[in-house]
Amino acid sequence: MTLSFVAKALILMLFLGSTLYVHLRGRARLPLLRQFVNHSALFAPYNALMYLFSRVPSEPYLDRSKFPELDILKDNWETIRDEAMHLFDEGY
C-alpha cells in the first residue's frame, strides 16, 4: 500500500466515523443513507470536533447563570423592545 492510499483511506474513515457520530448523537435521526448525502454529512467532521471539545454541556436548556454576559440583555430588554417597535413603526 502506498502512502497516498493510506492517507485517502484515513480521511474517508474519519469522514464516515464523524458522520456516524453525528447521526447517533441525537434522538431525531434521518435514515442512514439520507444522513450521508445530506448537507449535515459535509459539516460532520467540524461538528464532531465542536461536540467533543465544547465546554458547554449538551442539554436542551442551559443554565443562564453560566452566561453572565447575558445579564445586560436581561436588564435592558424593555429598552431593546421599545427601540425595535419604534423602528418597525418607521417602516424598517
Domain boundaries, the chain: 3-89
Write the DSSP symbol of residue 26.
S
Q: What is the pTM of this model?
A: 0.56
37 CB neighbour count, 10 Å cutoff: 10
The more confident residue out of 27 and 48 is 48
How many alpha carbons lie under 13 Å from residue 35 in its C-beta half-sphere? 18
Give the cell for residue 29.
Answer: 435521526
Q: Please enumerate in sequence order all residues whose Cβ is within 8 A of that of 44, keeping only pairs 6 or more positions apart, or say none.
A: 15, 18, 19, 21, 22
Mean pLDDT across the chain, nearest whole number?
89
pLDDT score of 36: 80
